[in-house]
Amino acid sequence: MQDKLMAELMPPDPRRCNYFFLYDGSKVRGEGDLTREGICYFYPEETLLEKQELLCSQFAGVGRCVSELSSSPVQTLRLRHNKFAIRMKDDFLWALGCSVDVPTVSVCELLDQLINLFCFYNGSVRQSYQLNSQETLAARWARYLSYLQSGSSEMCHIFSCLKTIDSTNVDPLLLLKAALILQACQRCPLVLAGCILFRGRVVSTQMSPELTMKVMVHESETYTKGQRLNGPSTSSSFGGAVSSTTVYLTMSELQYLKSAPVDRDSSSHSTPNKNVPPKKTRLSRTLSDTPSTESEPSYPNSSQTPQKTSFSPHLSGSDNSVCSPTASQSATDSLNLSLLSLRPPLSNGKHCHEAEEEALEESCYHSFHNNGDGSSQIHSEEDSSVFEENSHLNGDGDAAGEAVFDFRGTDSGNEQSHGGGGTDQGRKAEMKDPSHLSGAFDDLEQSPLVDVTLYMHRVKGLVLALLVEPHFLSDAASMEEVYHSSLASLNGLEAHLRTISPGAPGAPGPYVFAHFDCIQSTLTTNLSGRPGGAPEHPFVRATSLLHSHFCNTETLQEAIIRSAGAAVYGTRSVAQETYFQQHGGSLRNSGIPNHQDSAFSLPSKARHRLMKHGVNLL
């Protein structure tokens, strides 16, 4: 944790992105047109203009030629010393260049993230350049790029993961509290979804990882300076703590947010238990974590997680200290609600005010009992396909074994169990499949962008970020309600999060591991942020190779690869990827097949060792 914080303070990793530019071919049509006219933005900005022109003109030329020959836009362009992800759209050409060690999938992902970020805050690119000066927009590209580059380690870059608070050090009740604050805000029908961030890390979110990441950029900006570069309006009645800005969503993003609000992917903090195969859904995980120790002591992961041993006594104690003095009415209410008897569940998409409580209750119920028979009762009235997929998820089937057949099905099942609307079916799967990356991008550019408002309420290092309907700002009553209902809780939450010590960096231990949750886009690792996380680290190198391999081969479930210095085990299921390397021990061997070879005991070692990190590889 210390390392991670340190890393964030350091300048962006120069290794991640060597070049980025946006070139507008429509400005360079005629014979006499200068290449520099078409350069909208070029990073690093200090690059000699001559070199900028060289790269822009050559890439544009080659890009056009190849696109014509293949009747399809260029996606990657590799040189001996740099590899570039390319996007071509309406005369625009984006290129993002990284060192050749970075997996191609990750470079493409980074470029898509960058473009999507720009569109989120500025709307369509063409229009932005018509409305704003090139300098203003250049500053924005620079800001987004620097944000995306400020990942804590090479590992994060490989997976393009979301930065979350280190939940191993955080009382789960605080996470519960955060989730409840968000749920309470949704009582206001104008609130679409929200997330709570602390010092640039996610505490709890109701949005997809992609959307959360986008929102975080604005947060980091307001956090570092009180500047309002993006021109947000500040409501004076709430002091400087509240700000808002217009952001743009794609139709599918908006539909997803507008579908049943409660069933959405509601909390995305990185609890160790997130590694549990999808049978433990992420619906209000904070809630489900809490009772599971008591009601199901035999549950394999939670019962062995170290902090759980001290958890039960902690629960009552911290309950008072956390909730009582500061907790808002709504938070307490929802806790109470959760203990009430079951009421008929809601139909999807319904989000009138009165329905909120029921919905809330359903989610509570669901998370309490999602391993029990109750789930069939809950879903009996829902779409049967949702039920089937859920029951499948909740079943005890080996997720890894089913990867082959259910890659898409299970995945969309996940989405559906939260969103219910089914609009995002298979979206996750597509995100991880490099061939679909451009598809995601296409959606964004082609579908009309809808403007909504990003509302932010800051309490020191803590931020409540909500995506709200645009007229929320003019609706004083709603604003007041949201502000006041959450203020006390936020203060309390902030006070507690602030006092939590960063915690000792994970003991180096005789092994390293990395666990990536593909659904929430979060990474758990005991590899220190830096310098151990540098790309030359054997574990990072192996992980990067294996991750690419997993991305490109849907049927691959597990792999062991060994070089002279390291043997690394990688395994994946629909929802997660896990990498493990055992230190020490003699790797001395002849390389000839031998079942007693230590490399082949990695899978069982990983299963055993990672249990205490809450990673269940069974």
Residues 366, 282 contacting (CB under 8 angstroms): no
Out of 52, 75, 290, 412, the residue judged to bind other proteins by CB under 8 A: 75
Measured distance CA(163)–CA(148) in Å, rounded = 11
Measured distance CA(525)–CA(283) in Å, rounded = 23
- Residue 591 CB, shortest distance to other proteins, in Å, is 4
- Please identify, using beta-carbon distances, which residue of 355 and 561 lies nearer to other proteins: 561
- Residue 565 CB, shortest distance to other proteins, in Å, is 8
- Check residue 80 for interaction with other proteins (CB under 8 A): yes
Out of 5, 66, 142, 488, the residue judged to bind other proteins by CB under 8 A: 66
Cis status, amide bond into 306, omega within 30 of 0? no
- Residue 435 CB, shortest distance to other proteins, in Å, is 7
- Check residue 599 for interaction with other proteins (CB under 8 A): yes
- Residue 557 CB, shortest distance to other proteins, in Å, is 5
Number of residues that bind other proteins (CB under 8 A): 59
- Check residue 18 for interaction with other proteins (CB under 8 A): no
Tokens linked to 556:
């691959």
Tokens linked to 20:
């980025």
Out of 10, 49, 339, 404, the residue judged to bind other proteins by CB under 8 A: 404
Out of 79, 352, 504, 507, the residue judged to bind other proteins by CB under 8 A: 79
Q: Which long-range contacts (CB under 8 A, 24 or more apart) does 78-83 make?
A: 82/18, 82/19, 83/107
Measured distance CA(91)–CA(24) in Å, rounded = 6
Rounded to 5°, angle at Cα 573 from 567 and 576 = 80
- Residue 72 CB, shortest distance to other proteins, in Å, is 4
Out of 1, 74, 170, 242, the residue judged to bind other proteins by CB under 8 A: 74
Instruction: Report the relative pairing of strands 511-517 and 576-582 from DSSP bridges.
Output: antiparallel
**Helix spans in 170-262 (H):** 172-185, 209-224, 251-258
- Please identify, using beta-carbon distances, which residue of 383 and 558 lies nearer to other proteins: 558
- Check residue 357 for interaction with other proteins (CB under 8 A): no
Choose among 364, 196, 396: nearest CA to 284: 364
Residues 567, 582 contacting (CB under 8 angstroms): yes
- Residue 127 CB, shortest distance to other proteins, in Å, is 24
- Please identify, using beta-carbon distances, which residue of 482 and 599 lies nearer to other proteins: 599
Rounded to 5°, angle at Cα 132 from 60 and 42 = 35
Out of 431, 459, 540, 560, the residue judged to bind other proteins by CB under 8 A: 560
- Residue 389 CB, shortest distance to other proteins, in Å, is 22
Fill in the amino acid letter for 457: H
- Check residue 567 for interaction with other proteins (CB under 8 A): yes
Out of 9, 31, 46, 69, the residue judged to bind other proteins by CB under 8 A: 69
Q: What is the dihedral of CA 319, 320, 324, 330, to 10 degrees?
A: 10
Of 203-242, binders to other proteins (CB under 8 A) are none
- Please identify, using beta-carbon distances, which residue of 423 and 589 lies nearer to other proteins: 589
- Please identify, using beta-carbon distances, which residue of 500 and 559 lies nearer to other proteins: 559
- Residue 191 CB, shortest distance to other proteins, in Å, is 37
- Give residue 8's Cα distance to chain centre: 17
28 vs 40, 89, 96, 137, CA distance in Å?
12, 15, 21, 20
- Check residue 595 for interaction with other proteins (CB under 8 A): yes
- Check residue 67 for interaction with other proteins (CB under 8 A): yes
Binding piece for other proteins, criterion CB under 8 A, among 343-351, 517-525, 591-599, 609-617: 591-599
Report the greatest alpha carbon distance in the chain.
Answer: 77
- Please identify, using beta-carbon distances, which residue of 132 and 557 lies nearer to other proteins: 557
Tokens linked to 486:
């959450």
Instruction: Indicate the DSSP class of residue 592.
Output: S
Place of tokens 């942020």: 529
Binding piece for other proteins, criterion CB under 8 A, among 59-67, 145-153, 227-235, 525-533: 59-67
Instruction: Report the relative pairing of strands 201-205 and 511-517 from DSSP bridges.
Output: unpaired
- Residue 69 CB, shortest distance to other proteins, in Å, is 6
Out of 12, 73, 189, 374, the residue judged to bind other proteins by CB under 8 A: 73
Cis status, amide bond into 531, omega within 30 of 0? yes
Instruction: Indicate the DSSP class of residue 319.
Output: I
Of 414-443, binders to other proteins (CB under 8 A) are 435, 438
- Check residue 590 for interaction with other proteins (CB under 8 A): yes
- Check residue 558 for interaction with other proteins (CB under 8 A): yes
Tokens linked to 470:
């645009």
Q: What is the dihedral of CA 227, 233, 238, 242, to 10 degrees?
A: -50
- Check residue 76 for interaction with other proteins (CB under 8 A): yes
- Please identify, using beta-carbon distances, which residue of 129 and 600 lies nearer to other proteins: 600
- Check residue 556 for interaction with other proteins (CB under 8 A): yes
Measured distance CA(302)–CA(612) in Å, rounded = 9
Out of 27, 64, 369, 607, the residue judged to bind other proteins by CB under 8 A: 64
The gap between the terminal CA atoms of the chain, to the nearest Å, is 28
Out of 237, 336, 380, 594, the residue judged to bind other proteins by CB under 8 A: 594
Out of 49, 65, 131, 618, the residue judged to bind other proteins by CB under 8 A: 65
- Please identify, using beta-carbon distances, which residue of 236 and 586 lies nearer to other proteins: 586
Measured distance CA(212)–CA(184) in Å, rounded = 19
- Please identify, using beta-carbon distances, which residue of 77 and 487 lies nearer to other proteins: 77
- Check residue 559 for interaction with other proteins (CB under 8 A): yes
- Please identify, using beta-carbon distances, which residue of 11 and 593 lies nearer to other proteins: 593
Residues 102, 541 contacting (CB under 8 angstroms): no
Binding piece for other proteins, criterion CB under 8 A, among 377-385, 473-481, 505-513, 539-547: 539-547
Of 92-151, binders to other proteins (CB under 8 A) are 100
Residues 165, 500 contacting (CB under 8 angstroms): no
Residues 280, 272 contacting (CB under 8 angstroms): no
Out of 27, 279, 541, 607, the residue judged to bind other proteins by CB under 8 A: 541
Place of tokens 């120069």: 14
- 616 φ/ψ sector (left φ>0, alpha ψ -120 to 50, else beta): beta
Q: Please tell me the number of Cα atoms within 13 Å of 62 on its side-chain side.
A: 15
- Please identify, using beta-carbon distances, which residue of 77 and 229 lies nearer to other proteins: 77
Tokens linked to 208:
């997809």
Place of tokens 């104008």: 190
Of 33-52, binders to other proteins (CB under 8 A) are 51
- Residue 289 CB, shortest distance to other proteins, in Å, is 31
- Check residue 77 for interaction with other proteins (CB under 8 A): yes
Binding site for other proteins (CB under 8 A): 51, 54-55, 58, 61-62, 64-82, 100, 404, 435, 438, 541-542, 545, 549, 553, 555-565, 567, 587-595, 597, 599-600, 603
